[in-house]
């Protein structure tokens, strides 16, 4: 599933390196860039609207493995969707971000889920629902229960965050790391008949191209 | 001791020519060397042996000489910078005169002359920039100030009805529904505060906030079929910095009406692909090694071109450089946008060939802030916009024709 970049990962007690593509999706101005920035730089600043896509990288050095995240932070405006909707191709994880102070942004996140479900099998991608801007508690339009309930029924990871006040941002990304690693382990211990756990070398190049067709 | 120091610094300057000495007196005060004072050992301690004292004195002298040299060098550098700035200001002053007295009054006959084209490439002086842009962009749409007022009045009406909360209608059908248009107006508000935040002039309460708001609002009423698309706020802002509101609106609407901008802002996917394909023809021609590297890494042009083209570089380049790109874009048209992109790739070719996909993507979507302007334009100038004797427009037209023929074969939704 992931691109393994360390040779000899099959060795006992080895320390593999995994590279995952993580994509941030959601309405405009829900805080996608801010979440990525908080996570990668542990800081908060005002962002210019993302046009197209911007990119971040982050490396987790865990005891069991090194996990590299390539974060694709997509433009939120709906108009861009026909251009950007393929940016999630070959993603290993997706964060569906909404703004807890704007009910319609949750609706949009649900639409993103439908889209992803059409394109991915459930075990192909880790999806997290993220209710951002908990610092705007006074203007809350979506209750925590509503988000959590939707995530539960659809088997998504869920957390409410605030990129501004640094609330649970790291936690949600860590939860994704853990889930990705759990799935790697699961696949390694029970290889499926068509050996999904091995790296697909047939293609030669990593499959992360944005296709325009 | 102080006396000794003065004597020494004096000596340190002896080898200088009289001319340099004059400059020294005029230009700089020795600052750092005043901290270098050779102190004798305190009286309560045994005196240094003569040999050691001599050695220390020698070392001290060397230090002072070094420090002096450094200072002199810095002073000369500062002077050179100052001279260059004066020269630049002079040449801008002269250019302003040329533009105002010779070129602008005879625009139609002069605008395409070689001399003007060359002056144009140097960058248009800020004081005439707006006028030149307006003339070069033209007003094919025949927009008048009155039309702007009408569009603005309509936008204001919409804002009023929005703020009174009268219209929370949701429309499911495609096209530009009422909900869409409202979302556009809503979005404009959000984006204005995020347009050049570091300049602090477009934000709520800032001097240009209302102008930006008005232009974008009026445009959504003028072209509801296009509406507001993220990236527009940057274009409008750059125009506002150089033109009055109504003229900025006229330039904005005409600029967006150009084929390339229309293709992008209407998100005409097929046509955008054609532009990218044309770009790649020139990419391969000009930078074959880097082109191969990008291909190998599956780095498609959309990754970096979308942002550059949508905002006409105003978001990704420092504002002064972006304005110079706009200058030549107004002169040469859309092909210059793609030439600029190749200029950027060329400028950073060596670094980029060493990077993998994600780092290239990261680099190109967030260019270094201290881009050297002269190198940058030299790099653009080195890009040839000719491929096998074909110009940009010809390549683009050929690709478009291919597309149309392909579409004829299968019924398609695309125009």
Question: How do residues B86-132 score in pLDDT, each as one tens digit?
Answer: 988 888 888 999 999 999 999 999 988 999 999 999 999 999 999 99
The string of pLDDT tens digits covering residues B231-272 is: 999 999 999 999 999 999 999 999 999 999 999 999 999 999
Confidence class for position A14, pLDDT limits 50, 70, 90: confident
Give the best residue of A17, A33, A50, A52 to mutate against chain B (max B CB count within 10 A).
A52
* Domain of residue A97, CATH code: 3.40.50.300
The string of pLDDT tens digits covering residues A16-47 is: 999 999 999 999 899 999 999 999 999 998 88
pLDDT at B75 over 90: yes
Average pLDDT, chain B: 86
Give the largest CA-CA distance in chain A: 53
Q: Do B230 and A210 touch (CB under 8 A)?
A: no
Residues of B within 8 A of A47 (CB-CB) are: 194
Work out the minimum CA distance from A190 to partner chain B, whole angstroms. 31
**Residue A77: domain span:** 17-186
Residue that wins the pLDDT comparison between B310 and A77: B310
Residue that wins the pLDDT comparison between B350 and A211: B350
The full DSSP string for B297-326 is: TT--THHHHHHHHHTTTTTTS-HHHHHHHH
Asked if residue A99 is part of any domain, the answer here is yes
Q: Do B300 and A209 touch (CB under 8 A)?
A: yes
- Torsion angle, CA of B257/B258/B262/B268, rounded to 10 degrees? 150
Contacts of A4 (CB under 8 A, 6+ apart): A16, A17, A18, A19, A199
Tokens representing B266? 């209407």
Of A87, A95, A118, A94, residue with least CA distance to B298: A87
Q: Chain B contact for A205, CB < 8 A?
A: yes
Asked if residue A202 is part of any domain, the answer here is no
ipTM of the complex: 0.80
Q: Do A52 and B300 touch (CB under 8 A)?
A: no
Residues of A within 8 A of B298 (CB-CB) are: 205-206, 208-209
Going from the N-terminus, what domains does chain B have, and what CATH number goes with each? 54-122 (1.10.10.750), 141-164+176-253 (1.10.8.270), 262-408 (1.10.472.80)
> What span, in angstroms and rounded, lies between the C-alpha atoms of A158 and A168?
11
Report pLDDT for B182. 63
Buried/exposed code over B31-69 (b: 16+ C-beta within 10 A; e: otherwise): eebeebebeeeeeeeeeeeeeeeeeeeeebeeebbebbe
Asked if residue A10 is part of any domain, the answer here is no
pLDDT at A120 over 50: yes
- B→A contacts (Cβ < 8 Å), by residue, are 183, 187, 190-191, 194-195, 197, 227, 229-231, 233, 267, 269, 272-273, 276, 296-298, 300, 302-304, 306-307, 310-311, 315, 357-359, 361-362, 365-366
Q: Chain B contact for A99, CB < 8 A?
A: no
Q: Do A52 and B366 touch (CB under 8 A)?
A: no
Environment class of residue B356 by beta-carbon count within 10 Å: exposed (0-12), middle (13-18) or buried (19+)?
Answer: middle
Q: B370: helix, coil or strand?
A: coil
The string of pLDDT tens digits covering residues B359-412 is: 999 999 999 999 999 999 999 999 999 988 899 999 999 999 988 888 777 554
Residues of B within 8 A of A75 (CB-CB) are: 230
Report pLDDT for B179. 59
A208 vs B229, B267, B357: nearest CB: B357
> What span, in angstroms and rounded, lies between the C-alpha atoms of B108 and B285?
34
Asked if residue A48 is part of any domain, the answer here is yes
Rounded to an integer, the average pLDDT of B31-40 is 64
Tokens representing B405? 């023929």
Asked if residue A203 is part of any domain, the answer here is no
Where do we find the tokens 């949750």? A106
Q: A97: helix, coil or strand?
A: strand
The string of pLDDT tens digits covering residues B116-174 is: 999 999 999 999 999 999 999 999 999 999 999 999 999 999 888 877 755 444 333 33
From start to end of chain A, where are the E strands? 3-4, 17-26, 53-61, 66-74, 93-99, 126-132, 157-160
Asked if residue A208 is part of any domain, the answer here is no
> If you measure CA to CA, which chain B residue comes closest to A211?
B300
pTM of the model: 0.79
Asked if residue A46 is part of any domain, the answer here is yes
Backbone φ and ψ for B189, nearest 5 degrees, come out as -55, -45
Tokens representing B260? 């390339």
Work out the minimum CA distance from A50 to partner chain B, whole angstroms. 8
Report pLDDT for B107. 93
A52 vs B297, B298, B306: nearest CB: B306
pLDDT at B7 over 60: no
DSSP conformation class of A42: S
Q: Do A52 and B365 touch (CB under 8 A)?
A: yes
Report pLDDT for A198. 42
Report pLDDT for B220. 92
Asked if residue A155 is part of any domain, the answer here is yes
The string of pLDDT tens digits covering residues B204-233 is: 888 999 999 999 999 999 999 999 999 999
Where do we find the tokens 């088997």? A155
The count of structural domains within chain A is 1
Residue that wins the pLDDT comparison between B26 and B72: B72
């Amino acid at each position: 599933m992931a691109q393994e970049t360390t040779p000899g990962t099959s060795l006992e007690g080895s320390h593999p390196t995994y590279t995952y593509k993580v994509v941030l999706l959601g309405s405009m101005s829900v805080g996608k860039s801010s979440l990525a920035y908080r996570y990668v730089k542990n800081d908060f600043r005002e962002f210019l609207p993302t046009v197209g896509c911007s990119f971040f990288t982050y490396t987790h050095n865990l005891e069991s493995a090194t996990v590299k995240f390539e974060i694709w932070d997509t433009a939120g405006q709906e108009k861009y969707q026909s251009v950007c909707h393929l940016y999630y191709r070959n993603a290993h994880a997706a964060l569906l971000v909404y703004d807890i102070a704007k009910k319609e942004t949750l609706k949009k996140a649900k639409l993103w889920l439908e889209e992803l479900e059409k394109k991915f099998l459930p075990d192909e991608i880790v999806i997290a629902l993220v209710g951002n801007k908990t610092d705007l508690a006074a203007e809350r339009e979506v209750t925590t229960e509503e988000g959590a309930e939707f995530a539960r029924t659809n088997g998504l990871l869920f957390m409410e965050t605030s990129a501004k006040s640094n609330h649970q941002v790291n936690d949600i990304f860590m939860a994704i790391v853990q889930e990705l690693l759990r799935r790697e382990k699961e696949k390694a211990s029970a290889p499926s008949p068509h050996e999904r756990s091995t790296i697909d070398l047939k293609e030669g190049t990593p499959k992360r191209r944005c296709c325009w067709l | 001791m102080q006396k000794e120091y003065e004597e020494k610094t004096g000596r340190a300057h002896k080898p200088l020519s009289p001319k340099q000495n004059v400059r020294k007196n005029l230009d700089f005060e020795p600052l750092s060397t005043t901290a270098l004072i050779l102190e004798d050992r305190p009286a309560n301690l045994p005196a240094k042996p003569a040999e050691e004292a001599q050695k220390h004195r020698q070392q001290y002298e060397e230090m002072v000489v070094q420090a002096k040299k450094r200072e002199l060098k810095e002073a000369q550098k500062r002077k050179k910078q100052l001279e260059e700035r004066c020269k630049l200001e002079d040449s801008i002053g002269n250019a302003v005169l040329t533009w105002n007295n010779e070129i602008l009054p005879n625009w139609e006959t002069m605008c395409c002359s070689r001399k003007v084209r060359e002056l144009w490439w140097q960058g248009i002086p800020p004081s005439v920039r707006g006028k030149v842009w307006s003339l070069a962009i033209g007003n094919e749409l025949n927009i008048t100030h009155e039309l702007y007022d009408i569009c603005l009045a309509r936008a204001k009406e919409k804002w009023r009805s929005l703020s009174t909360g009268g219209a929370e209608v949701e429309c499911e059908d495609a096209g530009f529904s009422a909900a869409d248009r409202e979302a556009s107006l809503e979005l404009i508000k959000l984006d204005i505060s995020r347009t050049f935040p570091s300049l602090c002039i477009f934000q709520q309460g800032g001097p240009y906030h209302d102008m930006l708001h008005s232009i974008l609002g009026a445009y959504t009423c003028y072209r509801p079929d296009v509406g507001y698309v993220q990236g527009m706020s940057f274009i409008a802002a750059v125009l506002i910095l150089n033109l009055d509101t109504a003229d900025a609106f006229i330039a904005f609407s005409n600029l967006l009406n150009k084929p390339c901008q229309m293709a992008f802002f209407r998100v005409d996917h097929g046509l955008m692909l054609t532009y990218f394909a044309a770009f790649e023809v020139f990419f391969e021609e000009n930078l074959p090694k880097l082109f191969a590297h990008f291909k190998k890494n599956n780095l498609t042009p959309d990754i970096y071109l979308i942002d550059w083209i949508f905002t006409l570089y105003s978001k990704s380049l420092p504002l002064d450089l972006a304005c110079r790109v706009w200058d030549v874009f107004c002169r040469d048209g859309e092909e210059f946008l793609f030439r600029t992109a190749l200029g950027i790739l060329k400028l950073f070719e060596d670094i980029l060939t060493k990077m993998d996909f994600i780092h290239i993507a990261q680099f190109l979507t967030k260019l270094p802030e201290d881009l050297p302007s002269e190198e940058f334009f030299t790099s653009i100038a080195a890009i040839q916009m000719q491929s096998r004797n074909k110009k940009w427009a010809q390549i683009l037209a050929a690709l478009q024709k291919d597309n149309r023929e392909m579409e004829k074969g299968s019924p398609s939704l695309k125009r």
